[in-house]
Amino acid sequence: MTEPILIWGAGAIGGILGAYLARAGHTVHMVDIVEDHVHVMRQRGLAIEGPVEAFTQVLPSSTPAELEGRFSRIILAVKAHHTEGALDMLVPHLAPGGFVVSAQNGLNEIAIAERIGPQNTVGCFVNYGADWLEPGRILYGNRAAVAVGELDGRTGDRTREVHALLRVVEPDAVLTDNIWGYLWGKLGYGALLFATALTPLSMSHAMARPEHRPVYEALGHEVMRLAAAQNIRPLGFNGFDPDAFLAADRAGMAASLDAMVEHNRHTAKTHSGIWRDLAVRKRRTEVDAQVGLLVALGQKHGDATPTLARMVELIHDIEAGRRKQSPDLVDLMVPLCS
Ligand SMILES: NC(=O)C1=CN([C@@H]2O[C@H](COP(=O)(O)OP(=O)(O)OC[C@H]3O[C@@H](n4cnc5c(N)ncnc54)[C@H](OP(=O)(O)O)[C@@H]3O)[C@@H](O)[C@H]2O)C=CC1
Ligand SMILES: CC(C)(CO)C(=O)C(=O)O
């Protein structure tokens, strides 16, 4: 049993973390802005569904306005574009000397460290698949890679403690000295997921389309080139091979795409969170916080990222209702990728 753990953002990722940790006997408190979800979690319990495991866990839960007290261990699991807003609410609840772990996609650790200091920020990478279905119900679609590490790469007591907590959820979670490598690897993989979300197809069907392979290759290559410009050594996981994309090695990229197709064939979460935001939740995606950030970084380095930039425009078009999800949108990117 560790000190109480506050989970800020109790959706797909945070909900699974909270339910598993509480079931294992840890003291967990959930915070979410969705009032109905908070009520169900604390009364009837949070139902984890799907092929990995099914159970229901009652969880102490609050909206941000209801929350009292300070916590030494906080896991942040809101969408990347909600990070700043969540930090406004969260910071008053961080105990002196406490830390925040970012269980998110993107480079949120930078914004968190700017607000609370790098010494109070722990890096984390998550790739398991989950969907928030409705208040009190989360689909756990598949197990996948998870890693934790200090921003400066030095392993200490607290990263060992967070690693032990993550292993309650994902027994193969890794304690790494290169958390930025995982986060950049996920930015590369994430760019491919954004392209799949331009279409109504599942992740595996979209990535398998031979005519769209040049687009996935170009996206992965542009992100890995930026990682190199940032002196990052990206790491692979669940089929994503950063070296193949950096080298634009055709055979390597084909093998990596095949491996990602295979990985995503074995999940009950058939579509990405990005697709879900567009097709089901009808709301903004994390495109600016993830891909837009990369395009801006490319401009800073004088390294053009035409495929990423076009994809941001197309995702914006879908968000604004100017276009509908269709494989035709990936066709529009093919001429950029010869
Ligand atoms: N789902 C997945 O399979 C994976 C997701 N990720 C990443 O994990 C992160 C979390 O994603 P995910 O769990 O899917 O997202 P969800 O939308 O399922 O969960 C986020 C929850 O946080 C709530 N929220 C938003 N703002 C605040 C706030 N200020 N304070 C408290 N709660 C807030 C949201 O409410 P509302 O819905 O009203 O905004 C929502 O209930 C993202 O960066 C995502 O890319 C990474 C790997 C896999
Ligand atoms: C699909 C997944 C789970 C990565 O495997 C993801 O990160 C997302 O939904 O955005």
Q: What pLDDT does residue 330 have? A: 98
- 290 C-beta closer than 6 A to ligand 2: no
Which DSSP helix (H) or strand (E) runs through 122? strand 121-126
- In this structure, the residue with its CA closest to atom 4 of ligand 2 is 127
Residues of the chain with pLDDT under 70: 1-2
Q: What pLDDT does residue 2 have? A: 67
- 272 C-beta closer than 6 A to ligand 2: yes
DSSP designation for 72: E
For the CA of 274, the closest atom of ligand 2 is 10
Q: What pLDDT does residue 214 have? A: 98
Collapse the DSSP code of 34 into the 3-class scheme (helix H, G, I; strand E, B; otherwise coil) and give the result: coil
Please tell me the number of the ligand nearest to residue 272's CA: 2
Within the chain, residue ranges assigned H as helices are 12-23, 35-43, 83-90, 108-116, 157-169, 179-196, 203-208, 213-229, 242-247, 250-265, 273-279, 287, 293-301, 306-319, 327-333
pTM over 0.95: yes
Q: What pLDDT does residue 290 have? A: 97
Q: What is the pLDDT of residues 276-335, one digit of tens each?
A: 999 999 999 999 999 999 999 999 999 999 999 999 999 999 999 999 999 999 999 999
What is the chain's mean pLDDT, rounded?
A: 97
Q: What's the CA gap between 293 and 296, in Å, rounded? A: 5
Pocket test for ligand 1, best of 6, 7, 8, 13 (most atoms within 8 A of CB): 13
Could you give the domains of the chain? 5-177 (3.40.50.720), 181-337 (1.10.1040.10)
